[in-house]
Amino acid sequence: MGIAETYSRGRRFAIERPFVLVLAVIAAVLIGDLLLGIATGQTQFADIGTLVWDGLMRGLVIGLAGIGLSMTYSILNFANFSHGDYITAGAFSGWATTYLIAGLGRADVGALLLVGAGGSVYGGALDIGMLSTPLAVVAGIVVAGGFAIVLSLAVDRTIFRPVRNEDGITLLITSIGVAFALRYLMQFVFGSDVRGTTAQPPSMGLYLVDGTVFIDAHDITLLVVAAGLMLGVHLLLQRTKLGKAMRAMADNQDLALITGIPTERVVRATWVIGGGLTGVAGYMFILWKGTLGFNDGWLLLLLIFAAVILGGIGSIYGAITGGLVIGLTASMSVLWIPSAFARAAAFVVMIVILLVKPSGLFSGRATA
């Protein structure tokens, strides 16, 4: 009776949800291929460890930036396509500060403020790094977050606020216009060239069965900063009156108005928190990868949207989890496909998970 009942349940599941069964088969094939590569020596545990660590770092940046985008959507009810350019603006402002402090007296001030535009000065020549120039890096992080906050508030007051009561499409198109304006303004000021920003940071090796996984000082800095800020957001939302007001407004804005919640104050707080996290994420992304270009935020934006949608639109924890999933997928997919298709693999995984769970991993948990 037990075997027949199990068979009946399995058959019913296969009929009702055949796509899940297909996904399970594909996953089994991929895992089998990976195990075969390990057994034959084509893939080493150290290679897997390096890719996992790289994916974790990438996922932390995406998740940190995704918090701001998720908060904007859940509280202000629109998808902000200028979010990626807030990332870039924060990065440029922060790195201009870092260059100025690290290179003052060693290079022209104008070249330092333009972050070495046109090859006028290089971060490697200034020996910029977390251990070699800690004051410059910490100041850059603070300025990146602060500038993104000011930019977010200014754009909201002058552009978004007058059209906030319009439909979502109007706000979305407006945000696209803001994105293009900011992006090409930064290209005009800082140039279109991609420049190196840091010296080679010291690293330590962790032995893993058949090789070594290297972790450098900038990886550790990113891990500490991202984890600390994520914990801070969690405590803010769960332990403070402002956090409770933000969650209430995300759940029902009309009810929040009736109950006397200062909605305009909540909106400002949303831009402050989201903008600050976005600016810091932009700076840390450049510190981690070591290069800076005017469209870095735009290229990262699609992955951030993927993470927010995957985690469940409006969920802070969903944005963090989605960021880690997207980051790990983009890095580890090179075990099976060429690296040129790594970003595409991240979107495929997003689509697949949404087909199984359409509302996202943390559906129904708005803001927190």
Please indicate, yes or no, if residue 161 is contained in any of the structural domains: yes
Question: How many structural domains does the chain have?
Answer: 1
Please indicate, yes or no, if residue 255 is contained in any of the structural domains: yes
Q: State residue 7's pLDDT score.
A: 57
Residue 368 pLDDT > 60 = no
**Mean pLDDT taken over the chain:** 86
| DSSP-based three-state secondary structure for 215 | strand
The range of the structural domain enclosing residue 224 comes to: 52-356
pLDDT digit string (tens) for 120-176? 788 888 999 999 999 999 999 999 999 999 999 999 999 988 887 777 788 889 999
Please indicate, yes or no, if residue 159 is contained in any of the structural domains: yes
Instruction: Determine which helix (DSSP H) or strand (DSSP E) holds 203, and give its type and residue range.
Output: strand 203-208
**DSSP designation for 315:** -
**DSSP designation for 161:** G
Please indicate, yes or no, if residue 4 is contained in any of the structural domains: no
Assign residue 261 the CATH number of its domain: 1.10.3470
State how far the Cα of 148 lies from the Cα of 281, in Å rounded to an integer.
Answer: 10
Please indicate, yes or no, if residue 314 is contained in any of the structural domains: yes
Structure tokens at 119: 């090859």
pTM: 0.89
pLDDT digit string (tens) for 276-319? 999 999 999 999 999 999 999 998 998 999 999 888 887 888 89
State how far the Cα of 295 lies from the Cα of 272, in Å rounded to an integer.
Answer: 23
Please indicate, yes or no, if residue 152 is contained in any of the structural domains: yes
CA angle 367, 56, 304 (to 5 degrees): 45
Please indicate, yes or no, if residue 307 is contained in any of the structural domains: yes
Please indicate, yes or no, if residue 69 is contained in any of the structural domains: yes
